[in-house]
């Protein structure tokens, strides 16, 4: 699921079907889901909960940014027999090495959306927080 602007990139990365969230409800007309993996907080938890099969799980990946894990955990307590999990992903040296190895083996592809000198970091941050970045934004320390 993505916006129309990023559909071609998703197909290039291997998606077999792309859902434009601005034009199509990704949950409408589907059988209940056993698992909903939310990496971008596009579907409110109460709406996602209604589309989960009994015993289904909602998994939200959070990098410690916009969504407070406490609020999502609280929502899970009201989930009526369905489970909701929040994973907070924190950077570490070992995770960085593992990712670097996967990139070298080409089993992980990193999409770079832009590169900024350190002095332009505020501009990169505005792009990121505006929700329009495609891929990772790099800050060059020279």
pLDDT digits over 39-73, tens only? 666 677 778 888 888 888 777 665 555 445 555 55
Backbone angles phi, psi at 103, to 5 degrees: -65, -45
Q: Write down the mean pLDDT value for the chain.
A: 75
Beta strands in the chain (DSSP E): 33-38, 52-62, 83-88, 112-117, 136-140
CA distance 10 to 17: 9
Q: Which ranges in the chain belong to alpha helices (H)?
A: 7-12, 45-50, 69-77, 93-104, 121-129
CA distance 123 to 126: 5
Residue 92 has pLDDT above 80, yes or no: no
Question: What is the pTM assigned to this prediction?
Answer: 0.54
């Amino acid at each position: 699921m993505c916006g129309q602007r990023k559909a071609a990139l998703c197909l290039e990365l291997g998606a077999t079907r792309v859902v434009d969230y601005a034009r199509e409800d990704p949950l409408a007309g589907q059988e209940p889901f056993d698992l909903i993996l939310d990496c971008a907080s596009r579907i409110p938890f109460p709406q996602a909960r209604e589309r989960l099969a009994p015993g289904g799980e909602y998994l939200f990946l959070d990098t410690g940014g916009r969504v407070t894990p406490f609020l999502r955990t609280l929502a899970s307590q009201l989930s009526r027999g369905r489970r909701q999990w929040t994973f907070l992903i924190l950077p570490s040296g070992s995770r960085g090495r593992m990712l670097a190895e996967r990139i070298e083996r080409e089993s992980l592809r990193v999409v770079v959306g832009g590169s900024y000198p350190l002095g332009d970091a505020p501009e990169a941050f505005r792009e990121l927080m505006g929700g329009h970045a495609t891929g990772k934004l790099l800050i060059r320390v020279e």
